[in-house]
Amino acid sequence: MNRKPLLAFLILVLAAGCATDSPAPQVGPDGLVGVPSGRLDQVYVRPDNQLSGYRKVMLDPVGVQLRSDWVQQRHGLNYQIHPTYPRYKEADEVTRETAAAVADSLAKAFRASGFELVETPGAGVMRVSARVTDLFVNAPDIVSPGYARNVTRDAGEATLSLEARDAVDGKALARVSHHAIARQTPRANVANDPANSLWMETLYQRWADSCAAEIGSAAHIAQASLKN
């Protein structure tokens, strides 16, 4: 059997496949373009490189929403039988502490990326709104005398989203969404209030650092993808 014609046909097909255009970038209803990210689940930016003109950031208060089953199953991932004792923390205390931690993380991240933080709208000011949803913090055993300590693999998890708009006209500039789990090692870790706070605050800071870095560079990637 003469294999040369078949081999030539396969080479031609492969060459044609390599020559096809890359998929067009995803454009959202607000005109933002999806760009690849190795750190965040979803990143969308304004494609016409307008982000380069924003070096000031105004932070809105952070919204926080607990996962619907948190109150009933706040010990659901802990490795022990659920003891009966007063609540670890009230829901409003958890949301208040989370909002403060995320706001502090964003402020540190944007400052470190060279942005100036301001409190009033103006030209060249990017208004950043962040939201934490489906928040689940593994509550430690704080009162039960029958247990020496409480352990868990995950300190908690949450979906973190951020939206950046022009502070004057409200035009969408960037949008980020990411689901994160505070899991450092495959083994169980001690679950108590200081430890849980440490792991969750580390999670928020890493997310904030990634957001600030992506917003500072993703606009150039989006512009290049539209030109190809």
pLDDT, tens only, 153-164: 577 899 999 999
176 contacts 214 by C-beta, under 8 angstroms: yes
Q: Point out the least confidently predicted range of 65-69, 86-90, 213-217.
A: 86-90
In angstroms, the Cα distances linking 132 to 113, 161, 202, 209 are 22, 7, 15, 16
pLDDT at 56 over 80: yes
Which stretches does DSSP call E strand in the chain? 33-34, 42-45, 56-59, 63-66, 116-117, 125-137, 151-152, 156-166, 172-181, 189-190
Percentage with pLDDT > 70 across the chain: 62
Distance, CA of 11 to chain centre: 43
Cβ-proximal residues to 74 (8 Å cutoff; 6+ apart), any chain: 87, 88, 136, 137, 138, 139
Give the model's pLDDT for residue 222. Answer: 42
Look up tokens 């502070």; give the residue: 167
Cβ-proximal residues to 108 (8 Å cutoff; 6+ apart), any chain: 205, 208
Give the model's pLDDT for residue 17. Answer: 44
Give the model's pLDDT for residue 192. Answer: 61
pTM summary value = 0.75
Give the model's pLDDT for residue 161. Answer: 98
pLDDT at 140 over 50: yes
- How many whole angstroms separate alpha carbon 170 and alpha carbon 176? 17
- How many whole angstroms separate alpha carbon 195 and alpha carbon 154? 11
Percentage with pLDDT > 90 across the chain: 41
The mean per-residue pLDDT over the stretch 146-157 comes to 62
- Confidence label for 83 from pLDDT (cuts 50, 70 and 90): very low
